[in-house]
Amino acid sequence: MIYPGVIGTGMYVPSKKVNNKQLSKLNNILAKEILEKTGIKERRIAEKNETASDMGFKAALKAIKSSKIDKADIDQVICSTFSGDYIYPALACKISQKLNLKQPGCFDVMANCTGFQTGTNIAFNNIKNSKNIKNILVVGVAMQSRYINWKDPYSSIYFGDGASAAIVSNVGKGFGHLGSSLISNTNVYESVRMRGGGSSFSNSPGIKKTFKQFYEISGLEVWKQVVTFQPKNIRLALKEAKLKLQDIDFFIFHQANSNLIKFLMSRLDLPMSKTHLTVNKFGNTADASIGITLDEATKRKKIKKNDIVLLSGVGAGFVFGTTILKWAY
């Protein structure tokens, strides 16, 4: 029997920090108001010469080192992103090239802010179902600063750049993946979007006049979706894993807004000591968010061997994903 799980994690964020005082000069929102609304104090922004593949590569190196495997033994690379170096080829291919890997299978997935968790689920299934796949590198990359209108008071306050990675492998009986759930509510498809570059709004010279090349977001709708559907999604994953909420030792949530995470923990009647926040210093790092938070919580010994860990995210669309693991190291 194969028991897939996570054997190593890594993360990378750019060194450049943008705090709320700096941001308020662009969007005319008071720094205090940004903090009160989002819980975000600062975010990391990539330099002009930094690429999405650079960030993914650096996070991947850390995950490989953490896992203690030889990179030559990586059989697949799965990358979750919407902000690759190009529209195509897949960013996973570029990251593999930079790592100088030996012809692994490479592909991208797009589930936005629940993408990292979705990518790990695909990895678990691939390892379970193939005798030829032993180790998979999962990477989440968010190069969002290139798509933000920094004068927009609605979208500019939330997002940052970053990358995260994990190595998925067989972790042995009694550990690893216990259950998952993935659901969606497509009735609010238009609530969080970036239309520019899509086939309906290609990057023609006139696109910049319409501002469709930037993020558009309804923060209120995000809040409504999370409080309505994320608890349901968590219950479905718990049912599959044959567990109760009280069995979970630690919770890793997508870092959209610290106020939202605090509200969700309260609604689930859980103490904040059972989760970890990174949104306050990195902002919402989309596809990288869950992986960044998981890596930091692990490095800080908040997650230990034998802990049952729940990863849960929400992404544009809206897509809700939850994964439950028994931690193996």
Residues 150, 217, single domain; the answer is: no
Residues 19, 165, single domain; the answer is: yes
Which residue among the candidates 20, 112, 233, 284 is catalytic per the annotation?
A: 284
The pLDDT, as a whole number, for residue 17 is 98
Residues 205, 167, single domain; the answer is: no
Question: Does residue 126 have an active-site annotation?
Answer: no
pLDDT tens-place string over residues 102-126: 999 999 999 999 999 999 999 999 9
- Distance from C-alpha of 223 to C-alpha of 148, rounded to nearest angstrom: 20
In this prediction, residue 191 has a pLDDT band, given cuts at 50, 70 and 90, of confident
Q: How far lies 76's CA from each of 13, 72, 293, 319, in Å?
A: 24, 11, 23, 24
Residues 238, 118, single domain; the answer is: no
pLDDT tens-place string over residues 74-84: 999 999 999 99
Residues 159, 205, single domain; the answer is: no
Print the domain residue range for 182. Answer: 177-326
> Is the CA virtual torsion 299, 300, 304, 309 positive or negative?
negative
- Distance from C-alpha of 215 to C-alpha of 212, rounded to nearest angstrom: 8
pLDDT at 12 over 90: yes
- Decide: residue 31, CB within 10 A, 0-12 exposed, 13-18 middle, 19+ buried: middle
pLDDT at 219 over 80: no
Residues 6+ apart with CB under 8 A from 39: 257, 258, 259, 262, 277, 279, 280
The pLDDT, as a whole number, for residue 4 is 98
- Distance from C-alpha of 31 to C-alpha of 33, rounded to nearest angstrom: 5
Mean pLDDT of 241-267: 96
Give the residue from 15, 165, 157, 147 showing the smallest Cα distance to 84: 147
Which residue among the candidates 79, 93, 106, 113 is catalytic per the annotation?
A: 113
Beta strands 319-326 and 176-184 are antiparallel
Q: Is the pTM value of this prediction over 0.85? A: yes
Which residue among the candidates 121, 126, 135, 254 is catalytic per the annotation?
A: 254
In the block, which residue shows the tokens 């929102």?
29
Residues 241, 144, single domain; the answer is: no
The pLDDT, as a whole number, for residue 53 is 98
The pLDDT, as a whole number, for residue 90 is 98
Question: Does residue 93 have an active-site annotation?
Answer: no
Residues 250, 152, single domain; the answer is: no
Give the residue from 133, 229, 127, 113 showing the smallest Cα distance to 181: 229
Mean pLDDT of 168-192: 94
Residues 79, 110, single domain; the answer is: yes
Beta strands 76-80 and 105-109 are parallel
Of 173, 196, 216, which marks where a domain is finished? 173
